[in-house]
Amino acid sequence: MDLGLAGKVALVTGGATGLGRTIAETLAAEGARVGVNYRTKPEAAAAVVAAIETAGGAAVALQADLTRDDQVRAMFDALAAAFGPPEVLVNNAAFCPTAPAAELPTDTFLATLDVNMGGTFRCCREFIGRLEAVGRAGRIVNISSQAALRGSRSGKCGYDASKAGIIGLTISLSRELAPRGFRVNCVAPGLMLTEMIADAVARDPAAFHGRVPMGRLGQTREIAEVVVFLASDRASYMTGATVDVSGGLGAH
């Protein structure tokens, strides 16, 4: 099935590990040329680029702290120099500190909002402005979480709040930009197996799998394929949507 992504330029924030890596590789497999953003893991980003190039695709690693306006601008400049301006933006980068609310420093709470929601906003603003300057439109896919809708019991109030804000930002931007040809959608994954939780899952699989109605954690590939669909021509009449990809977790 042709998704219409061949030759398009895509930027994936937080693309060096976990879900971001899988999204970057899935976009590349559809023929997109991919910018792989990272903040502190150059070796991981280089590995993603190497894997994409080995498979016959094109990618470039792009370092940027998404809380810095100047670094976001420089990242877009570097991607444009390598491949041209992006037509697809996937806002995946996230920060998730854990602490009880009564013990969470204000600075940590605000830093979480700034990385997750602020970083998403900065990248959207740069993406929109650059495309509109040349009379073009693009597709944005923001990554939220079931935590935005359900909360959590493990001291992640900053993360949960930021992910809820991303849903609100998606809706606002979709309504503002639809008349100008942009599509802005969101994905709300549930529990998924990544390297961050792999050890904990191995120690007590039932504690994780048992929380999901389908009886298992999601694979990053299963979320990435929904993201890529939303970025594709096949989702041409979708904007402002938040898509539940949670194995039924969101229905309970």
- Measure the CA angle with vertex 78, ends 142 and 186; round to 5°: 5
Residue 55 per-residue DSSP state: T
Give the residue from 63, 65, 70 showing the smallest Cα distance to 46: 63
Which residues form the catalytic set?
159
Alpha-helix runs per DSSP H in the chain: 18-29, 42-54, 69-82, 106-113, 119-133, 147-150, 157-177, 198-203, 205-209, 220-231
Looking from the CA of 104 toward its CB, the CA atoms found within 13 Å total 18
DSSP per residue, 98-151:
---GGG--HHHHHHHHIIIIIHHHHHHHHHHHHHHHTT---EEEEE--THHHH-
d(CA 161, CA 97): 12
Determine the Cα–Cα distance for residues 117 and 147; give it in Å rounded to an integer. 14
